[in-house]
Amino acid sequence: MEYNSTTIEKKWQEHWAKNASFEPTEDFSKEKKYILSMFPFPSGRLHMGHVRNYSISDAFARYYRQQDFNVLHPIGFDSFGMPAENAAIKNNANPKTWTYDNIDYMKKEFASLGFSFSKERELATSDELYTKFEQGFIIDMFEKGLLYREKGLLNWCPNDQTVLANEQVVDGCCWRCDTPIVKKDMNQYYFKITKYADELLDDLKKLEGGWPKQVLTMQENWIGKSNGLAFDLFFDSASKEKLANNFESFDVFTTRSDTIYGVSYTALAPEHSIVTYMIENNLLSAEVISQIKDMKSTSSIDRQKEKSGISLGLDVLHPMTGKKVPVWIANFVLMDYGSGAVMAVPAHDERDFDFAKKYDLAINAVIKPFEGELSSDCAYTEVGELFNSGEFDGLNSKKSQYNIIKYFEEKKIGKKTTNYKLKDWGVSRQRYWGAPIPFVHCDDCGLVMEKKENLPIAIPEDIEITGEGNPLDNHPTWKHCPCPTCGKDAVRETDTMDTFVESSWYFLRFCASKQNWEKEAFSKEQIKYWMGVDQYIGGIEHAILHLLYARFFTKVFRDLGYIDFDEPFDNLLTQGMVLKDGAKMSKSKGNTVDPDAIIEKYGADTARLFILFAAPPTQELEWNDNAVEGAYKFIKRFFDRSSNIVKTQSIPLIDHSILSKDEKYARKKVYEALVRANDVYNEKYTFNTLIAGTMEAINALNVQSNSDVWSEGFWILSSIMEPVIPHVCWDISSEYFSLKNLTPQVVVQEVFVEDSITLGVSINGKRRTEIEVSPETQKEDIIQSAKEAASKWLEGKEILKEILVPKKLVNIVIKG
């Protein structure tokens, strides 16, 4: 029979659907594996990145099913978000219709690729049931003080007309549409992720080994913990007077307490409250005010180009010397880090140095190198010896930090402080297609949470999407509701949640079985059994955003008593990108390959085989049409050779000793592939080598004709390849083995016993020739024959040493 991918794949996809082959059991006594790939946004069609992602997770899921684990391999859709709304604006479609149509299409694509997802637990985060549970969690978090509403300076995307979290601002631009963001002062809801900063940082240690180093480092940098000293700088009396005694002092933070004696000026962020006060009370000239305004409206990228500042005409008193120190505004001081004010030590900080040079400010050196001279051309930022530092003179600068912080603490003028780059997670979005934040604004009661029995607060479907303003806000009736507390007329919150809220707990929802699907988000017992995720697979682009938020939610849910573990994902595999012509596949570059077209031409098995064969999963994958063709040819050959199998219900018993050399070699290659397969699925994840091993085995089988060896070979090979090319393997397996070989395979050791061994012979480590010996040959005899074989190179030379590496080589060390 000729290989026909379409009929074979259709046949087995129908079989799997009919038999619900991939549903996990509720038998919690079985060992489990939770295999999860990051769920897709329903953009309309799968792209090759998706195919790669799910081909990897499917290989794991199918392997562990064969190994008799209870496997959970769920799929869902991260279906809220702006593209749905943008599509609606563009095509005058309804976001819900658009989304669910896309989901239906993508589900068909999943099926046509043969992915073994659990169907029962399929979900879309825009489902009202999902919203209901999520809003319940939000209320719980609010009650615990982990969600709060506050006015703040926010990242605003003028194109998407919404606020963005810090994590969603990439190079000063919107992560979605690349529009430069602007700062906007408005009310916003925040998750108190900073409360967990230390734990999120410390627990990265628990993930070592299971997560790629790169991701751990990125999270560590993002949290950005630094230790230092915080203290107040007090104004002198003239300055206090200027400020009408509204300000006594301001707070600064430094990691370089050792440079305290070198402070020669201080700098405030242009957004600092003292600056704002001075502007509002006409303490600055019109020209200065306009300069500050310019500074504020400059994007963070442009601010980096050149340092600029303005003297405020104020002085503070140096905490150690009591000398006057001028106060400046500087564009490089960021309002959202520390207190928005710094002490400046130009002698030992490059930024401070540049600024001091530009504005001709004093440069007071207080650290000198242990050896050599201090240069005045640049800031000396290395460790050295303190001088001009009062009682601390002569100390090692690094070590003196301890003494100086201690001094501040004893005098009660400052204290040891830890700062983080991590900010609270702003979650409200001024958009329609999201889960409403379940709060109500009441004139009498203020901000009130919705009652849980009223959940979900679903979004209305009869909306008009114009692209201007928030459709929820514009809806004639939706936002009007009774106050949950006093019953008076009140107004609903019209902000919806960041879609990253949905993806922060979907992996927990997947643990819920269909029985209690409606009743509860998940049960403790189910969570206890299924979590943590044994293998999580997704793109590196989520290294910070999603993966940090999901870790945060896990810790919050633990503290709320829903779960009792700290980390959600035991192992993380970050797949590489799919490239074509050296660039990431993207519509804008026009270098995409449509998975549907590949499936139609070659079949899903070919697509999956190519993707897993062309590169290890963590590396970039370069698309190559010829190599896809090659994968197709291999499957055809694989299928074609299966005609050599004799039908059997169990693996054939073979007397190895009577086999020919070729037959023995073929068996060895088959079992080598099996050994490699176990290695790959359990440890290395380099599917490319497993596939290469199978190809070698087929090549070796092909030069012999023993039907038992063929049958045994296919019994094993179609088992280990099933996770990769499931359709053709099920077809062969059902035709010849009644599917009985899709089980754990036992490695037969006898095939590795060789009749003779080929050893390389090296002289001084350089390979010269080889010898063939029987496995029983004694060391002396082996070396003797090695010498004979290499006599040409040994003539007249003095032998210094003879080394035998069993089964590998002989190395003879000679003089000269």
Partner RNA sequence: GCGGAUGUGGUGAAAUUGGUAUACACGCCAGACUUAGGAUCUGGUGCCGCAAGGCGUGGAGGUUCAAGUCCUCUCAUCCGCACCA
| Residues 131 to 170 in contact with RNA, rule: CB under 7 A | 170
- From 105, 148, 247, 337, residue interacting with RNA (rule: CB under 7 A): 337
Q: By CB under 7 A, name the one of 311, 699, 743, 791 that touches RNA.
A: 699
Number of H helices, E strands in the chain: 28, 34
By CB under 7 A, what part of segment 419-458 binds RNA?
Answer: 419, 421
Quick check: 685 binds RNA (CB under 7 A)? Answer: no
Q: Does 765 bind RNA (CB under 7 A)?
A: yes
What does the alpha-carbon distance between residue 358 and residue 365 come to, in Å, rounded to a whole number?
A: 18
Query: What residue spans of 537-624 are helical by DSSP H?
Result: 545-559, 595-602, 604-613
Q: Which positions ≥6 away from 117 have C-beta within 8 Å?
A: 22, 73, 74, 75, 110
Q: How many residues bind RNA (CB under 7 A)?
A: 84
Compute how many other C-beta atoms are within 10 angstroms of the C-beta atom of residue 373.
Answer: 7
Closest CB to RNA among 75 and 729? 729
Give the whole-angstrom CA distance, residue 102 versus residue 111: 14
* Min CB(10)–RNA separation in Å: 23
Q: Rule CB under 7 A: choose which of 151, 587, 792, 815 binds RNA.
A: 792
Name the one residue in this structure whose structure tokens are 């303190």: 386
Of 468 and 581, CB closest to RNA:
581
Nearest partner of 514 among 72, 32, 69, judged by Cα: 72
CB of 40 or CB of 338, closer to RNA: 338
Q: Prior bond to 270 cis, omega within 30?
A: no
Q: Which of 4, 25, 97, 221 binds RNA (CB under 7 A)?
A: 221
Stretch that binds RNA, among 44-52, 330-338, 434-442, 724-732 (CB under 7 A): 330-338
Query: How many other C-beta atoms are found inside a 10 Å radius of the C-beta of residue 287?
Result: 9
Applying CB under 7 A, which of residues 590, 801, 815, 816 lies at the interface with RNA? 801
Task: Check if the beta carbon of residue 422 is closer than 8 Å to that of residue 484.
Answer: no
Q: Contacting RNA (CB under 7 A), which of 44, 180, 210, 224?
A: 224
In the bound complex, what is the minimum distance in angstroms from residue 656's beta carbon to RNA?
20
CB of 164 to RNA, least distance (A): 13
Range 52-71, binding RNA (CB under 7 A): none
Q: From CA 672, how far away is CA 342, in angstroms rounded?
A: 64
Q: Which of residues 631-650 bind RNA (CB under 7 A)?
A: 633-634, 636-637
729 to 758: interface string for RNA, x by CB under 7 A = -----------------------------x
> Is position 696 an interface residue for RNA (rule: CB under 7 A)?
yes
The structure tokens listed for 28 are 């919690």
Joined tokens for residue 20: 């619900």
When binding is defined by CB under 7 A, the residue of 24, 83, 338, 484 that contacts RNA is 338
Site string for RNA, 199-218 (x = CB under 7 A): --------------xx--xx
Q: Which residue, among 742, 741, 719, 735, has the nearest Cα to 646 in the 3D structure?
A: 735
Which residue(s) pair with 177 in the sheet?
Answer: none
- Please, which of residues 227-256 interact with RNA by CB under 7 A? 228, 253-256
- 1-9, 150-158, 431-439, 537-545 -> range binding RNA (CB under 7 A): 537-545
Specify the stretch interacting with RNA by CB under 7 A; choose among 122-130, 203-211, 328-336, 405-413: 328-336
Q: Closest CB to RNA among 274 and 544?
A: 544
Compute the Cα dihedral for 333, 335, 336, 342 and give only its sign: positive
State yes or no: residue 785 binds RNA (CB under 7 A).
no
Minimal distance, residue 726 CB to RNA, in Å = 20
CA distances 188 to 37, 449, 545, 552, Å, are 32, 15, 19, 19
| Closer residue to RNA in complex, CB, 396/764 | 764
- Least distance (Å) from RNA to the CB of residue 218? 4
Decide if 328 contacts 359 (C-beta within 8 A).
Answer: yes
The nearest distance, CB 148 to RNA, in angstroms, is 22
The structure tokens listed for 428 are 């409200």
SS3 769: strand
**Whole-angstrom Cα distance, residue 300 to residue 170?**
11
With binding defined as CB under 7 A, does residue 358 bind RNA? no
222 is an interface residue for RNA by CB under 7 A: yes
Other residues' Cβ atoms within 10 Å of the Cβ of residue 74: 25
The answer to the question of residue 626 lying near RNA (CB under 7 A) is yes
* One of 4, 311, 624, 756 touching RNA (CB under 7 A): 624
Instruction: Tell me how far, at minimum, the Cβ of 348 lies from RNA, in Å.
Output: 10
CB of 641 to RNA, least distance (A): 9
Nearest 10 degrees: CA dihedral of 745, 750, 755, 760? 60
Structure tokens at 44: 């309309």
Question: Is residue 616 at the binding interface for RNA, with CB under 7 A as the rule?
Answer: yes
Give the count of beta carbons closer than 10 Å to the beta carbon of residue 415: 11
**Shortest distance (Å) from residue 779 CB to RNA:** 14
Q: Which is nearer to RNA, 281 or 304 (CB)?
A: 304
φ/ψ of 771, rounded to 5, equals -130, 155
The length of the chain in residues reads 816
Nearer to RNA, 16 or 638 (CB): 638
343 near RNA (CB under 7 A): yes
Q: Which one of 83-91, 383-391, 522-530, 622-630 is the stretch in contact with RNA (CB under 7 A)?
A: 622-630
Nearest-approach distance from CB 275 to RNA, in angstroms: 13
767 interacts with RNA by CB under 7 A: yes
Instruction: Give burial (CB, 10 Å; 0-12/13-18/19+) of 92.
Output: exposed
331/27 Cα distance (integer angstroms): 62
Q: Does 614 bind RNA (CB under 7 A)?
A: yes
CB nearer to RNA: give 104 or 306.
306
Asked if 251 and 339 touch (Cβ cutoff 8 Å), the reply is yes
Residue 565 burial (CB < 10 Å; 0-12/13-18/19+)? middle
Give the separation between CA 295 and CA 508, rounded to whole angstroms: 46
Among 702, 734, 777, 785, binds RNA (CB under 7 A): 702
Amino acid type, 468: E
